[in-house]
A and B are shown apart, each in its own frame.
Chain A
Amino acid sequence: MTAIPPPFPAQPPVAMANGPQTMPAPPPPTATVSASGVSKHFKGLVAVSDVSFAIQPGVTALLGPNGAGKSTLLRMLSGQSPTSQGSVWVAGGDPRKSLETRRQIGIVPQQDGVFERDTIFEFVKLAAVLNRLPDPEQAALGALHAVEMDPNLDRPMGTFSKGMRQRAKIASAIVHDPSVLFLDEPLNGLDPKQRRHMIELFHNLGQSGRTVLVSSHVLDEVERFGSRVLVIANGRLAAQGDFRAIRALMDDQPLRYRVVCSDSKHFAAHLIARGLTVGTTILDQYSFELTTLDALKLRRSLAAIAKEVTIRLFEVSPLDADLESVFRYLVGGRHQ
């Protein structure tokens, strides 16, 4: 086990909606993963364009819609795919060239493929052997225990559900206790209990000094991974920093909410009267949609107003807090 490095320094969010970064900052001294001007082209198609960042130990979420370039970026960081331009630096080396760097990396690829005829124990033990661990069996047992899988499961992995494969891939990625983990949509196929467990596992790995980069296109997941995010859209780094701060940037934009309560017309009228909404649409007796220019104030006042006017408030759900909305804002919405 390596010494736990100093905590991640607080950094303000940096939105990069106005174009590619032109001046990549030098990686901080504690950075374990960095990219400098990284681009990837496929037969004239630009998958990733001029991306630069540096991340430190802890959990960082790589956020972006499907097709944004997350997997391509992770594949370049892990060394699977060479960069078309720029360079990556992982745990002190180039993962495409350095065996020592590869020893430091664990990866959960997005694809489902596993060695279908192998049992889960054989699969994870193989990773341990290939990493030249002194006791591969014990390491495999430990990794399988960490993902709550039975090492005695004597079925070929070809018969596994997606969730079981996903946990097997995570066990294979952590079996050699890597200092850097690249996890590409690792929660796909897991049930809610398993998701909670895996998120806790990633947090523990991050807190014990590992650098964990987790990609996801699900906003809710990203919030649970932690506050540090890299946001990628259309192959470009759209923002990086504290996720809550990035979302707060959206609060100066008109945001829509759906409210479910015991009397939609009555409650909507109260909100209009108090200047909390600039538009409402009554959906039915119990629900309505509203648009607000001050989301923070609205969120803080809703419950109190409902109590004051004796209306039962059942549900308030943001309609613009989904990832696509974040991207609309970060990538182009602010110019519209």
Chain B
Amino acid sequence: MSTPVSAIYHLVLRHQVSRNRLIVMAITFSLFVLAGVLVATNSEADSTTMIDIIATIGLSIAVPIVSLVFASAAIGEWIDDETLVYIWLRPISRVQIAIAATAACLTVAFPTTVITMTVAAAIGSGFEADVMIGAAVSTALTTLAYTALFVALGALTRWALIAGFVYIFVWETTIARFGDGLARLSIRSYGASALHHITDVTVDLGNRSVWASYVIPLAVVAAGVGLTTLILETKDVP
């Protein structure tokens, strides 16, 4: 029998798949596979080049953008089309709605980012195991954290997509590089650090400790779900 959480999960999932989002998925996959092929066919490039591409373009731009596109729409679309009331007014706790929405977004964001980066890493590195594992793990960690955060952003504001892009391009790719203290507040630095620890290749912002690389993204997931719950509890539902 369907439970409320699984019903909401499937509802979000059904509405996640749209033509525009499929295009985002296809473009992301194609670009990174192309990057992998170019690295593999370039005699001056090696697996370090591929790791650099994943750390700089993958973790700081592609992963957060894909996460943003899916996650900001999960609850954000219900607010835009004023259907949140059909979920909100039911006798289910807000945390269940937050968990179901986040899980549904991860279901579509994960294959897009993790499979894409892993395939690109495999092609670009000539199927080196640590590069493939590093790409998969670092991408998974950052996708988790960004998705949970952007679900909350979608619940918070109708301008989530714009706010998310500003966050990605101003904070994650620019300000976070200005100092170690600021870098600690950058999600991608933890993914980059996981990539560094697994591949033993120095990458941009990859200087967090091993435990922080794994624990902080998971803590961000908990914080994102908690924030979404809080927003739903206090929201003026349209």
Contacts and interface: CB of A to CB of B under 8 A. Distances in A.
A25 B86 CA distance: 33
Interface in A129-174: 129-132, 136, 172
B42 interface: no
- Contact residues on A (Cβ < 8 Å of other chain), bracket: 20 to 34
Interface in B77-108: 81-83, 85-93
Contacts of B89: 78-80, 95, 102, 105, 107
Interface in B209-238: 234, 236-238
B11 interface: yes
A113 interface: yes
Contacts of A301: none
Given A80-B89, A102-B90, A105-B89, A113 B7 contact: no
Given A109-B85, A130-B90, A130-B92, A117 B15 contact: yes
Nearest to A112: B82
Contacts of A116: 81
Interface in B46-70: none
Interface string A104-137: 0101010101111110000100110111100010
B15 A115 contact: yes
Given A99-B92, A118-B14, A132-B4, A81 B86 contact: no
B188 to A, nearest CB: 33
Query: SS class of chain B's interface: helix, strand, loop or mixed?
Result: loop
Nearest to A97: B233
A102 B86 contact: no
Nearest to A95: B89
A135 to B, nearest CB: 9
A329 B91 CA distance: 42
A118 B83 CA distance: 12
A113 B14 contact: no
Interface in A54-112: 75, 78-82, 95, 99-100, 102-103, 105, 107, 109, 111
21 contacts: A79-B89, A80-B89, A80-B237, A80-B238, A82-B236, A99-B92, A100-B91, A102-B91, A107-B85, A111-B238, A114-B86, A115-B11, A126-B7, A126-B86, A129-B4, A129-B7, A130-B4, A130-B8, A131-B91, A132-B91, A136-B2
Interface of B: 1-4, 7-8, 11, 14-15, 81-83, 85-93, 234, 236-238
Given A102-B91, A116-B81, A126-B11, 15 more contacts: A80-B85, A80-B236, A95-B89, A105-B89, A107-B85, A111-B82, A113-B81, A115-B15, A117-B15, A118-B14, A127-B90, A129-B2, A130-B87, A131-B90, A136-B1
Interface of A: 75, 78-82, 95, 99-100, 102-103, 105, 107, 109, 111, 113-118, 123, 126-127, 129-132, 136, 172
